[in-house]
Amino acid sequence: MNADIKTREYTTVSEVSGPLMVVEGVEGVAYNEIVEIEAPTGEHRRGQVLEVKDDVAVVQVFEGTTDLNTLNTKVRFTGETAKIGVSKDMMGRIFDGTGKPIDGGPEIIPEKELDINGNPMNPASREFPAEFIQTGISTIDGMNTLVRGQKLPIFSGSGLPHNDLAAQIARQAKVVGSDDDFAVIFAAMGITHEEANFFMRDFERTGALEKVTVFMNLADDPAIERILTPKMALTTAEYMAFELGMHVLVILTDLSNYCEALREISAARDEVPGRRGYPGYMYTDLAGIYERAGRIAGKEGSITQMPILVMPQDDITHPIPDLTGYITEGQIVLSRDIHRKGIYPPVDVLPSLSRLMSGGIGDDKTRDDHSGVSDQLYSAYAEGRNLRDLVAVVGEDALTERDQSFLAFAQAFEDEFITQAKDEDRSIVETLDLGWKLLTILPKTELKRVKDEFIEKYYPE
């Protein structure tokens, strides 16, 4: 056996295939252990053990398998699972997808080494998220309210302005009546240089950069590295939130690229594929990312997640958005139709949802009429949209007066409520008052979702 037991270094690579490498004759190798690889060119790479059987280990190589051979590639098993050294000094810094600084600054001196896989949060330790986050965007604050500790993804399509929206949220997010700022952790997976530059410029322009920690895996970085990026970001987030007591907003983009990387590894391992070739454990894997959002009872900080994913062909039933929607607490859906009308942000409120909304709104949090107004706007807009189909067939004149008012409402809703400028930061009171203003378009008797007392209190005269 060509191996030095002490350092556990081997040159017994027997197979290289896709992102995977098989090493034979190994001893004492642990599942999920990190390995260091020295390519014949002398270049160093890292990998992770995916499977061990007797003395054979299957290793996934993060930086790609180009140049590796079965003759003299050196593999050293570190005996440790993937870890990241975390510190408060990570704020304002930029790292690559595997956690190495790439902004030319000094190495981080870690205050703690943490396993990037984390452990599942005990459901009995969680605190139910119920603090309203004001994003300044009416369609979100008014109708799909985000709360601290929630995971609320943006479902988008290629060519839609999800990056602008994410940047705007990162910039504007605040908790009303509190001075606490959000620390932002931005994890990019497989996005282009251009997109990355957009975010970096935006953070710089608004002076936000010092409270942002960036993990950057770009489109031309090895796909396999993407598997690590969100876990690095979330482990850092957990440290900042629950040990340093900060409120952390984690933006992950683009989860579709992450899932592609999962599929790539799964295919290389000859696993039985699930829907559309994605591995059967993708739900569990995604849950391991999304479920790391939350609050812990008795602890100061929180992790709020806003993952962005681009739906292939705008198809919400595609496995990636589908499985995501089953784990996250709602979704903000961007619509191509609304975008084509030139409306920004093109949020389609009908399929959008925030599951934690009811806990974060109301009397002491936003305003007592919030829930009623939101429901009324939803149902009226839904009805107005339905009527548009009818108008296409019978013409507007064939509609009753009541129906025509709904049609007018839907139009005004899109023009005034959904539409806002990229730097427009509406307070929740402004959003709700705007909602009331639009509701006056409808006959008063149609306001069935709002309690009478609120109609009396807020109906604009």
Partner 1 sequence: MINEGNIIKIAGPVIVADGMRGTQMYEVVRVGEAKLIGEIIELEGDTATIQVYEETAGVKPGEKVESTGGPLSVELGPGVMGSIFDGIQRPLEVIKGISGDYIARGIDVDSIDKEKKWTFEPIAKVGDKVVGGDVLGQVQETSAVLQKIMVPPMIEGTIKSIAAKAEYTVLETIAEIETDEGIKEVQMLQKWPVRKGRPYKEKLDPDIPLITGQRAQDTFFCLAKGGAAAIPGPFGSGKTVTQQQLAKWADADIVVYIGCGERGNEMTEVLTEFPFLTDPKTGNPIMDRTVLIANTSNMPVAAREACVYTGITIAEYFRDQGYDVALMADSTSRWAEAMREISGRLEEMPGEEGYPAYLASRLAQFYERAGRVITLGQDPKESSVTVVGAVSPPGGDLSEPVTQNTLRICKVFWALDASLADKRHFPSINWLQSYSLYVESITNWWQENASEEWRANRDQAMVLLQKESELEEIVQLVGPDALPDSEQVVLETTRMLREDFLQQNAYDDVDTYCSPAKQAGMLATILKFHEAASAAVERGADVKEIAALTVKEDIARMKYVPEDEFEARVKEIQEKVVTQCAEV
What is the footprint of partner 1 within residues 66-125 (CB under 8 A)? 81, 115, 117-125
Amino acid at 10: Y
Nearer Cβ to partner 1, position 190 or 321?
321
Q: Is 343 in the site for partner 1 (CB under 8 A)?
A: no
Site mask, partner 1, residues 268-307, x = CB under 8 A?
A: ---xxxxx---xxx-xx--xx-xxx-x-x--x--------
Nearer Cβ to partner 1, position 213 or 266?
266
Q: Is 250 in the site for partner 1 (CB under 8 A)?
A: no
Q: Is the dihedral of CA 362, 366, 369, 373 positive or negative?
A: negative
Q: Which two tokens stand for residue 232?
A: 């690095």
Secondary structure (3-state) at 31: coil
The distance of closest approach from Cβ of residue 194 to partner 1 in the complex, given in angstroms and rounded to an integer, is: 32
User: How many angstroms separate the CA atoms of 95 and 245, rounded?
Assistant: 22
The distance of closest approach from Cβ of residue 422 to partner 1 in the complex, given in angstroms and rounded to an integer, is: 27
User: Which contiguous run of DSSP H or E holds residue 435?
Assistant: helix 428-439
* Residues within window 219-248 making contact with partner 1, judged by CB under 8 A: 242
Tell which one of 379, 404, 405, 440 touches partner 1 (CB under 8 A). Answer: 379
Q: Is 257 in the site for partner 1 (CB under 8 A)?
A: no
Check if the beta carbon of residue 9 is closer than 8 Å to that of residue 76: yes
Q: What are phi and psi of 434, to 5 degrees?
A: -60, -40
Nearer Cβ to partner 1, position 190 or 294?
294
The distance of closest approach from Cβ of residue 61 to partner 1 in the complex, given in angstroms and rounded to an integer, is: 18
Site mask, partner 1, residues 383-422, x = CB under 8 A?
A: x-----xx--xx---xxx----------------------
Site mask, partner 1, residues 171-200, x = CB under 8 A?
A: ------------------------------
User: Which contiguous run of DSSP H or E holds residue 386?
Assistant: helix 370-394
Nearer Cβ to partner 1, position 163 or 305?
305
User: How many angstroms separate the CA atoms of 418 and 143, rounded?
Assistant: 11
Tell which one of 1, 14, 17, 28 touches partner 1 (CB under 8 A). Answer: 28
Tell which one of 448, 456, 460, 461 touches partner 1 (CB under 8 A). Answer: 448
Amino acid at 185: I
User: How many angstroms separate the CA atoms of 6 and 137, rounded?
Assistant: 59
Q: Which two tokens stand for residue 392?
A: 């296409």
User: How many angstroms separate the CA atoms of 241 and 360, rounded?
Assistant: 20
User: How many angstroms separate the CA atoms of 214 and 289, rounded?
Assistant: 17
